[in-house]
Amino acid sequence: MRRVRTVARIVWLEMLRRKDLYVLLILLAALLFGLVSLDIFGLGNVVGFVKDAGFLAAWFFGWILATNCASRQLPQEESRGTILPLLAKPIRRGELIVGKWLGAWSVVSAAVACFYLLTVIIVWSHGGHFQAVALAQAIALHTAALGIVAALAIALSTRMHQDAASAMTYVMTAAMFLLVPRVPEMVFHAQGWRQTALMILYGALPHFELFDMRRRVIHMYGPMSWTFFGATLLYGAIVVSILLLLAWMGFRAKHFSRSNQD
């Protein structure tokens, strides 16, 4: 476990040296302050707009950060020529996979928590409020979803270059978030093998809609039941474990040579 934490810490240091996080935080702040300024022109319920835009931006920016950060971890080691010295140390490939995922997931989760904090501060400063328990649940489920995105990106990066892995992660996660919830409606209009294929996809693909509590928090519907909350977190942990297992299997079968690092 110590080696896993060491790899994760290196991911943190690398991410903090890059400008991605700071740029996205500045963009979010500019967006929220821009929405607040609309109140000067008599726009009502500006707090509701800030909540909606802030949480949507947190999901969007978190998605970008998780995909880019996780998909570049292993290809970056190969392109720099550091993968062989790294594997020559007393570290297993499985530990490297888990450490890279843990580092990418934790740093992106911390960034998303900052996005939420900024939104909350601006809302509070303009007289709005949140239900604390519901907000805490929303952040926890959001970070669980980011764990799935990071695990998928790492799994794809074991067999693809960085650009291909990130592009595939974007396409697959967008399809999961936008299309999977609509599969039951599509099944109703499908017949034969198409209906069976849709049901298989519906059961096999991750359901990101389960982790999205934005509407519940924005409209003050209150927290979800703790039973469903725990079951959703467990579901996310299972999906992450499966994806990391697939990543380990793909990385375990991969052979490296100094010639393919030039």
What pLDDT does 179 receive?
83
Closest Cα to residue 223, out of 129, 134, 130?
134
Q: Report pTM.
A: 0.87
User: Does 62 have pLDDT greater than 80?
Assistant: yes
What pLDDT does 257 receive?
58
207 three-state secondary structure:
coil
What pLDDT does 36 receive?
65
Instruction: Write the CB contacts of 43 (distance below 8 Å, at least 6 apart in sequence).
Output: 49
Give pLDDT tens digits for 182-202: 887 777 777 777 788 878 877
Q: How far apart are the first and last CA of the chain?
A: 32
CB atoms within 10 A of CB 252: 12
- Average pLDDT over every residue of 130-138: 92
User: Does 223 have pLDDT greater than 50?
Assistant: yes
- Structural domain spans, the chain: 2-256
Q: How confident is the model at residue 218 (pLDDT cuts 50, 70, 90)?
A: confident
The answer to which of 18-32, 48-62, 69-83 has the lowest mean pLDDT is: 18-32
Asked if residues 53 and 32 have their Cβ atoms less than 8 Å apart, the reply is: yes
